[in-house]
Amino acid sequence: MTSPVASVSVFGYSDYRVFLKDYYQQAHAMDRNFSHRYIARWLGVSSSGWFADLLKGRTNLGGVHVVKLVSILKFRETEAEYFETLVQLNQAGSMEERNHHLRRLLSFRDGKVDLVGKDKFEYYSNWYYAAIRELLFFHDFRGDYASLGKKLEPAITPAQAKKAIRLLEKLEFIRKDVQGRYRPTDAFLKKDSSFKSLYAANFLRTNMELGMQALEKFQKEERHISAITLSLSGPGFEKARGIIDSMHKKLTALMQEDPHPDKVFQFNLQLFPVTR
């Protein structure tokens, strides 16, 4: 049997399992013989339920199976490289590995590759990009990068400050007004699901590291850091998440209503299990 070629493009996906599910559904509709059993047989797997387990995340994709799947899907060279990198990204065991594969994924120059881009990846990789954007709501910056860098805590170098301004300009988060001052725009990052969790993980990690430093760096009058240990049921946990979401909205509203901001703060709130 010749495998049907679905029109689903792998370049639009950040999760190889979601891609395979969509590809399979379209290909199976084109040819009912293209089944889970057929794929398992082609890959040399004895269990006909193997592909279903793969799609549900109960098993991972090994190197040999990746090569055979590429053959079934009739990928071109660039598509095959993208898919293989996507598998490595989704199955990576550490954040460092994920970032490595994500950078490679974003380096693909195929005309169909336009996910979230390197600029947005970089924006989330350093805490001070967001901090500088907020700072420019009230700080009169006209090109003195050394002074701008010293405004942050911890301070950054003039070169880092210049790179941040260039990135924020490129993302259209800031622009220079007629008087030569840089001011934030109303632009926000597009809420694209592609790589959203990976970007968020990088952003959260850098800010959690800042929080650890703040515990020793600032007096208690300058910060508010606290912890509480809770015992909750599943429904109780969901209610707690709702309370946190509500707090985010209230703090955002507070920021928008504050007429005279003079300092940028980072707010981190963590809720996670410490038992199984």
pLDDT of residue 195: 55
Q: Which residue range forms the structural domain that includes residue 24? A: 10-112
Nearest to 144 by CA among 103, 180, 175, 171: 180
pLDDT of residue 81: 92
pLDDT of residue 14: 80
pLDDT of residue 174: 94
106 inside domain: yes
125 inside domain: no
183 inside domain: no
90 inside domain: yes
Q: How many domains does the chain have?
A: 1
238 inside domain: no
Per-residue pLDDT of the chain (276 residues; tens, 9 = 90+): 566 667 888 887 888 999 999 999 998 898 888 899 989 888 888 888 999 999 999 999 988 899 999 988 889 998 999 999 999 988 988 877 887 887 787 777 444 444 445 667 778 778 899 899 999 999 999 999 999 999 999 999 999 999 999 999 988 899 999 999 999 987 555 544 555 566 677 778 788 888 888 888 889 889 888 889 999 999 999 999 999 999 999 998 999 899 899 999 999 888 888 677
Q: Is the pTM of this model over 0.85?
A: no
181 inside domain: no
CA dist 263 → 70, 123, 138, 255, 260 (Å): 53, 21, 9, 11, 9
CA dist 50 → 36, 59, 62, 175, 216 (Å): 8, 8, 12, 53, 51
87 inside domain: yes
41 inside domain: yes
Alpha helices by DSSP H, 49-116: 50-55, 63-73, 77-90, 95-106
